[in-house]
Amino acid sequence: MSARHVVLTLLGAAAYAGASHWLMLHAARSLGVRIVAEGVEHESQALFLRSAGCERMQGYFFARPMPADAMEAMLREANGPALPLAVAS
């Protein structure tokens, strides 16, 4: 299967409680589509998404925007040694 993705944007702090988000997650999973939730700002949103089957999330809850070298250092610290990241020129 190809690497298809759905990006789910959370709109507002109370959006995690919405049935429409759960339905979108369920539909994407049933089609074998990878889901990336963006805009996760609260632990409750991350917990809802995880319980609904979303494994990929991004947002201020996890980290603020940062330069690429700072992100690489953070990932290396969390995951141990790795190969250097390739940078497109």
- Yes or no: say if 20 and 13 are a contact pair by the CB < 8 Å rule: no
What is the signed CA dihedral for 43, 46, 51, 53, rounded to 10 degrees? -170
Nearest to 53 by CA among 87, 7, 89, 22: 22
pLDDT of residue 23: 80
Between CA 67 and CA 9, with CA 15 as vertex, the angle to 5 degrees is 40
**For residues 10-38, average pLDDT:** 72
pLDDT of residue 1: 37
Over the stretch 27-85, which tens digit does the pLDDT of each residue have? 888 888 888 888 888 888 888 888 888 888 989 999 999 999 998 898 888 876 655 65
Which helix (H) or strand (E) element contains residue 7? strand 5-9
CATH code linked to domain 5-64: 3.40.50.720
